[in-house]
Structure 1
Amino acid sequence: MTRLLSLLTLPLLLAACTTVPDDDAGTLYHYRLSASQPDTNQGELTLTQAVERVADADIVLVGELHTHSAVHLLQARLLAGLTNTSRADSRGLALSMEQFSRADQPVLDAYLAGRIGEAALIRDGNAWPNYQSDYRPLVEFARQQHLPVIAANAPKPLVSCVGQEGPAWLDKLPAHRRSQLARELTLTDDPYRQKFMASLHHGDADDNARRFAAQTSWDDTMAESMVDYLNSHPGQRIMHIAGNFHVEGGLGLASRIASRNPALKVALVVPETEAQRDAHVTSGRTADIRVRVSPLPERWLNADEMKQDMIALHQSRSRDCSQWLQP
C-alpha cells in the first residue's frame, strides 16, 4: 500500500512545484524560466506556464548542460507536467533520450518491464557515468507512470568510427549494425555544419569533415528515432533530452526532424548562463522557453589543462573499427 501511494503521489508532488523556491537562489539547483530575454523580469514563467507554452508541440526538445543540477531538476519537473497535460488531453507521452542508443533499447525495455534490475540496466545498457545522479529520476518516473522511453541515439563506438573513417564507412556495416544509425546523414553545408565548424580550433578540412559526419550521426539518428516513433504512434507527443548544442537555435535536432517530417511542431527549451548569453551570437530559432542557470565550475583554467584533456580524449576515441564489420 505504501508503494502504491508513493507511485500515485509522485507526479502530483513534482507537478506541484510550479515555481522554484526563492531560498534556493545561489545554489546550482536554481533556475529561472522565461519566454523572452532572461535578463529582464518581463516574460518570466512559472513551471505551469512553461508546460502550457509547449504542451501543443509534437516534440519538446529540452537542451541540457550535462551534469548541471538545475537543468536535471527542471527536466524531471517538465516530464511530470507534460505527463499530466497528456493525460488531460488524451495524448500519450514518450520520453526520448540521447543517453541511450538504439542498441540499448532491448535492455531499457527489459528494465521498464521489471525483468532486470538497475545494475543490469547500467551495465548492459551502457548508461552514462552520471546516470544515477542525473537520469535515474527521469527513467524511474517513466517506469512508474508506464511511459515509453526511446533509446534514440546512435551507439558511441559506431559514431566514433564515422569520425575516424568517414561516413562512407557506414556502407561496409552489416545490416543489423547499419540500422543502429540514421538511414541518411545530413552532410550539406547547412547552418548546423557552419556552427559546428566554427566551434573547432584544430584539424585539417578532411579531419573536420569526418568530425562533422560523426556529430550529425547523433542528430540524424535521434531525429529519425523520434520521427519513426511518431509515425508508429500518431497523435502522441515526445519529450526529448539532449546536450544543448543539439537543441539551441533549432540548428541540430529540430532541423533534422523537419527534413523528415516538416508537419511536426517542435518546441525548444534551452538553458543558458549569463556568460553564454553574452558570449554567443544568437543564431537560428529563438527558444520557446529560456532557462537561466548559474554557471558550472570552469573546466580548464589554462591552455595546458585543456591540451592534456584533449589528448586523453583523442586517445580514448581511437578505435579498431574493423571489429564492427563482422556479420
Structure 2
Amino acid sequence: MRIQMLSVLLLFVLPNSIANALASNAASPIHTFYDYQLYSAISKDAPQTTAKPLTSLPSTIINADVVLVGEWHSHSAIHRFQAELYQKLLEHNTQVALSMEQFSRPVQNVLDQYLKSEIGELALIAHAKAWPNYSSDYRALVEQAKSESMPVIAANAPREIVRCIGQVGVDYLESLNAEQRQTIAANLDITDRPYKNNFQQVMEGVEQASIEKMYAAQVAWDETMAESIAMHHAKYPHQQILHIAGRFHVENGMGIAYSLHKRAPKLKIVLITPVSSLDEPLGMSQYPEHRLLVLPLPTQVMNTHEHGGFSHPHSSSQPDCQ
C-alpha cells in the first residue's frame, strides 16, 4: 500500500521546516534519505490500529519532561528530524537541555568549555572523543544548544569501561577506583525482563555466558544515560530534556525509559522511534511512542566475504580489562 507523506524542506532553506512539513497540505511519498514523517503515538493506554500522520507537533512532545529520540546512526533523515525537532522545542519551551549518547561523562568539562567558547571545535572533537560522524550528524544539535546557551549533557558511560563489562561481566565494576566508578550508574538492573529477552533474540547464536556479559554492558549504557538525565532534571527541573540515543535504547520504553522511570517516576516521558515501515510492530509501551517513518538504511553486508577488513565506525582498539 502506498503511504502518502508530507514533504520536508531543507533546513538551510526554511529554518522552521518541521513546522511547515507538519502543517503542509501537500503530501508526497518519502523517497529520499532526507524525508521523514512523524506519526501519532501508540501506548498501552491508547493503542492504535491505524497510524495517522501528524499535522502539528503533538502536545505529548511539547509537554513532556523528557523526549527520548531513537536513531539509526548516520541516517540523514533522522538527524535532520532531530535538529528540526530541537529547534521547535526551543520555540515552545525556551529551556531545553540536550542530552546525548554520543558523549560520555568524563568529557563533560570539555563540552562545557566548548559551549562557553573557551575552546574550538577541533579541540572538542579530539578531547571529547567525538564520534567520526560528529561533523555531519551531531554538529547541528550541539551548535543549536550553544547558540541558545543551553547545556549539553554528556550522558553516556565511557566506552572502554562498558566494553570491559561486556568481556568480563558486571563484576568488572569492582575493579574500578572511586573516580572511575562514578562514570557508570550506581545501580545496574540486569534481572530477567522482556528487554533481556529482546536482547537475547538480537544475539541469537551467541553462547549464553557471553550474552549475559554483553547484556550487562547494554544495561550499563541505559542505566548511565538514565541516571545522567535524572540528575540533570533534579538540578534543573524547569528544563525540558531532549535525549538522543540508538533505537534499541529507546524503542518500547524498555531501555532508557525503564531505567529513568525507576529513578524519577513522576517524569513525563515520550518516545520517538524510527521505523522503515508502518507495518513494523512496536510493543505497547506505557509511554506515548511516536513513529518516525524514514527510508530503510542500505544493506550493510550482502555476504560474509565482504565483511573482512571493515570495523564498526565507532570502534577502537580493545581495552585491557585485567
Shared fold (TM-score, shorter chain, > 0.5): yes
Q: Tell me which residue corresponds to 2:4.
A: none
Contact 1:101–1:155, Cα closer than 8 Å, also in 2:
yes
Contact 1:249–1:287, Cα closer than 8 Å, also in 2:
no
Q: Tell me which residue corresponds to 1:44.
A: 53
Query: 1:246 corresponds to which letter in structure 2?
Result: H
Deviation at 1:281, TM superposition (A): 4.6
Unaligned runs of 5+ in 2: 1-10, 43-47
Q: Which has the higher mean CA deviation after the structures are superposed, 162-171 or 280-289?
A: 280-289
Q: Tell me which residue corresponds to 2:301.
A: 300
Query: 1:289 corresponds to which letter in structure 2?
Result: H
C-alpha RMSD of the superposition: 2.6
Check if 1:190 corresponds to 2:193: yes
Check if 1:181 corresponds to 2:188: no
2-structure distance, mates of 1:284, 1:173: 38
Matches within 5 A, 1:129-148: 129-148=132-151
Cα deviations by residue, 1:272-291 (Å, 9 ceiling, x for unpaired): 102xx55x553241753211
Unaligned runs of 5+ in 1: 1-9, 323-327
Q: Please point out which of 202, 209, 212 is paired with 2:212.
A: 209
Check if 1:56 corresponds to 2:63: yes
2-structure distance, mates of 1:303, 1:139: 37
Check if 1:128 corresponds to 2:137: no
1-structure distance, mates of 2:184, 2:317: 18
The number of residues matched between the two structures is 300
Deviation at 1:16, TM superposition (A): 4.9
Partner SS state of residue 218, structure 1: helix
Cα deviations by residue, 1:194-234 (Å, 9 ceiling, x for unpaired): 11111103332111100000011000000000001111112
2-structure distance, mates of 1:295, 1:268: 19
Matches within 5 A, 1:23-38: 25-35=30-40
Query: 1:205 corresponds to which letter in structure 2?
Result: Q
Q: Tell me which residue corresponds to 1:99.
A: 102
Larger helix percent: 1
Deviation at 1:11, TM superposition (A): 11
1-structure distance, mates of 2:206, 2:30: 42
2-structure distance, mates of 1:147, 1:166: 37
Cα deviations by residue, 1:145-184 (Å, 9 ceiling, x for unpaired): 1111000000100100111111111111011111001001
Q: Please point out which of 75, 84, 98 is paired with 2:82.
A: 75
Cα 1:86–1:273 change in 2 (3 A) is same
Cα 1:65–1:309 change in 2 (3 A) is farther
Provide the TM-score with structure 2 as the length reference: 0.86
Contact 2:72–2:246, Cα closer than 8 Å, also in 1:
yes
Q: Tell me which residue corresponds to 2:289.
A: 288
1-structure distance, mates of 2:299, 2:133: 19
Cα 1:144–1:104 change in 2 (3 A) is same
Deviation at 1:19, TM superposition (A): 3.6
Q: Tell me which residue corresponds to 2:119.
A: 116
Deviation at 1:110, TM superposition (A): 0.5
